[in-house]
Amino acid sequence: MIIGLTGSIASGKSTISELLKSKGFPIVDADKIAHLVVEPGSPVLKEIELFFGKEMIKTDGSLNREKLGERIFRNENDRNKLNSIIHPAIRAEMLAQKEKWLLAGANTVIMDIPLLFESKLQHFVEKIIVVSVTPEIQKQRLMSRNKLTAQDAAIRIQSQLPMDLKEKGADAIIYNNGTIEESEQQLNSILFNWNAQP
């Protein structure tokens, strides 16, 4: 079974993904792959430099994520441009990793895809878990994790589809407003209901 794990920014996908990993499930992580495809010297990084300018590259040749983030979260045209440069490479690597796990005999593969709905990737997966939080908790966690002002956190949240729309597209929802243990209990019952084994 291929399970898509999604949610909104700072809703707790990585936290749930870590729990799944500790239970032995193989994880294909789109955010990690997004780091991989922009390694120094990669063609994707060159394209980012050509469009967004030399100031997006640090002196050690790596991507200045903070600078690029400042630009793309507040500007839809820039965000669409970055997506058109980086997403094809991310998708190709996600599918390759999924195939690798299936060939290795995995029963269930987890695909952690933050933009599953925004990028219309529902066909990549068979079941969808949405990790949801209330807007207040989401903003608070995003501000403290990324050291952002309330305004910058709001801009990032608005760059994605609203949570209620994502919930409508879910096969199961984890409400991650309480403790991690409470979220793990919800996760366990979803895995049990779907008879999902690593």
Ligand X SMILES: Nc1ncnc2c1ncn2[C@@H]1O[C@H](COP(=O)(O)OP(=O)(O)OP(=O)(O)O)[C@@H](O)[C@H]1O
Ligand Y SMILES: CC(C)(COP(=O)(O)OP(=O)(O)OC[C@H]1O[C@@H](n2cnc3c(N)ncnc32)[C@H](O)[C@@H]1O)[C@@H](O)C(=O)NCCC(=O)NCCS
Residue 8 labeled ligand binder = no
Count Cβ atoms below 10 Å from residue 158 Cβ, excluding itself.
Answer: 12
Q: Is 139 in the site for ligand X (CB under 6 A)?
A: no
* Helical segments of the chain, H only: 13-22, 30-36, 43-52, 65-74, 76-103, 135-146, 150-158, 163-168, 180-193
Contact partner at residue 108 from ligand Y, ligand X, none, CB < 5 to 8 Å by partner kind: none
Token readout for 175 is 């409400």
Closer to ligand X by CB, 12 or 26: give it.
12
Least separation in angstroms between residue 195's CB and ligand Y is 29
Residues found near ligand Y in the complex (CB under 6 A): 9, 30-31, 34, 65, 68-69, 72, 79, 82-83, 86, 90, 114-115, 159-160
Contact partner at residue 183 from ligand X, ligand Y, none, CB < 5 to 8 Å by partner kind: ligand X
Rounded to a whole number of angstroms, the CA Rg of the chain reads: 17
Closer to ligand X by CB, 107 or 185: give it.
185
Q: How far is CA 165 from the centre of its chain?
A: 16
Least separation in angstroms between residue 189's CB and ligand Y is 25
Contact partner at residue 116 from ligand Y, ligand X, none, CB < 5 to 8 Å by partner kind: none
Least separation in angstroms between residue 100's CB and ligand Y is 19
Token readout for 185 is 């209990």
Q: At what angle do helices 43-52 and 65-74 cross, to 10 degrees?
A: 60
Residue pair 162/9 in contact by the 8 Å Cβ criterion: no
Binding residues for ATP: 10-15
* Interface residues toward ligand X, by CB under 6 A: 7, 9-15, 31, 114, 141, 145, 176, 179-180, 183
Binding residues: 10-15
